[in-house]
Amino acid sequence: MFNSLKAARSLIPLCIFLILALVLYQGLKQDPSLLPSAMVGKPVPKFKLATVNDSNQFYTEEIFRGKISLLNVWATWCISCRMEHNFLNKLAADGSIQLIGLDYRDRLAAVEQWQHALGDPYKYDLFDEEGRVAIDLGVYGTPETFIIDPQGIIRYRHVGIIDQAAWENDLLPVIEKIRGRG
């Protein structure tokens, strides 16, 4: 009796080690660069921005009213944006959702080249030269994509490239949920 108690007690360090190992192993799988957004559930911040193609044409947050929109924060210097651009072109061709681009800290000459070479999926090409609207959106890197409902509320934020898998697993379910209610 006494011996088995002693044996059980000697297993305690092993148990602690296993629990710790499990916790730390879970930690390894997390990507520390993925941060939760504080903006989900809040309305799109107020803005007034020109487009990349016309510095006299201004738009405000009103463009989000009445439609489900995808707000894609991108830049020509962002390699990942180049990688997801094709998929965005496909989404635009499909036409089921309004795509709005927010060009972040960019040079217009580079944007013109980009549009020429890779196409332009956005209905509105907003130009955030100084990154002010990006700060209001809590953006910390490109690409970031927000799903915004017809009431102008941010419903989801996706960090990183949108591809078929991310679209089907992460973004489409949110959009379908909004559609179901609206």
Partner 1 sequence: MLRKFILISCIYCCSIFAASDNYTFADPKQQQLFVNLTQNLRCLVCQNQNIAESNAPLAQDLRREVVELINANKSETEIIEFLVSRYGEFILYKPEFNQHNYLLWLGPGIMLLIGGFICFRTIRQQSQVET
Does 35 sit near partner 1 (CB under 8 A)? yes
> Which position among 47, 123, 129, 136 is part of the footprint of partner 1 (CB under 8 A)?
136
Strand duo 69-74 + 98-104: pairing? parallel
Residue with smaller CB distance to partner 1, 77 or 119: 77
Q: How many CB atoms lie within 10 A of CB 63?
A: 20
How distant, in Å, are the alpha carbons of 77, 78, 100 from that of 110? 9, 12, 19
Look-up: residue for tokens 């962002």?
Answer: 78
Does 137 sit near partner 1 (CB under 8 A)? yes
Residue with smaller CB distance to partner 1, 36 or 95: 36
Does 37 sit near partner 1 (CB under 8 A)? yes
Contact 122, 100 (CB under 8 A): yes
Cα–Cα distance measured from residue 177 to residue 173, given in angstroms and rounded to the nearest whole number:
6
> Which position among 91, 99, 134, 171 is part of the footprint of partner 1 (CB under 8 A)?
134
Smallest distance, partner 1 to C-beta of residue 77, A: 10
Does 141 sit near partner 1 (CB under 8 A)? yes
Residue with smaller CB distance to partner 1, 42 or 48: 42
> Which position among 7, 12, 28, 38 is part of the footprint of partner 1 (CB under 8 A)?
38
Q: x-or-dash pattern for partner 1, window 48-67, by CB under 8 A? A: --------------------
* Binding to partner 1 in span 85-124, by CB under 8 A: 105
Does 69 sit near partner 1 (CB under 8 A)? no
Cα–Cα nearest to 138, from 157, 166, 118: 157
Look-up: residue for tokens 């941060």?
Answer: 35
> Which position among 2, 13, 30, 32 is part of the footprint of partner 1 (CB under 8 A)?
32
Chain residues in the site for partner 1 (CB under 8 A): 32-33, 35-39, 42, 105, 130-132, 134-138, 140-141
